[in-house]
Amino acid sequence: MINARFGTGITLEDLKNLGKTILKRERAFNLAAGGTTADDRLPDFFKEPLPPHNAVWDFTGEELDRVMGFFVIDSISRGNLAKAYRCRNIF
């Protein structure tokens, strides 16, 4: 629909890569702002059963850390993230 509306040639792979890039940049920004793994945790009420199916958030902290670890920009060290964003104007 995007291609039809705007006359572009965006592929599904392009959209996936765009999503990954956005998430990595957001994660890098949060780390540069002093965020830690503790900030990745959801409030306890997410662990309460949610009717009608009584679904709960049942991911462990370790599982969440593995997923969130994917969203780090490897080429820029954590100590240099804020400087990199200012100098390279990544956003």
Per the structure, how many domains does the chain have? Answer: 1
Q: How far apart are CA 74 and CA 78, in angstroms?
A: 9
Query: Are 55 and 7 within 8 A, CB to CB?
Result: no
Task: Tell me, yes or no, whether 61 lies in a domain.
Answer: yes
- Provide the mean pLDDT of the chain: 79
Task: Tell me, yes or no, whether 12 lies in a domain.
Answer: yes
Indicate the range of 54-58, 61-65, 74-78, 79-83 predicted with least confidence.
74-78
Q: How far apart are CA 39 and CA 41, in angstroms?
A: 5
pLDDT one-digit tens code per residue, 9-35? 989 999 988 888 888 888 888 888 888
Domain region containing 68: 7-88
Task: Tell me, yes or no, whether 77 lies in a domain.
Answer: yes
Confidence of residue 72 (pLDDT cuts 50, 70, 90): low
Q: Report pTM.
A: 0.59
pLDDT greater than 70 at residue 81: no
Task: Tell me, yes or no, whether 2 lies in a domain.
Answer: no
Task: Tell me, yes or no, whether 78 lies in a domain.
Answer: yes
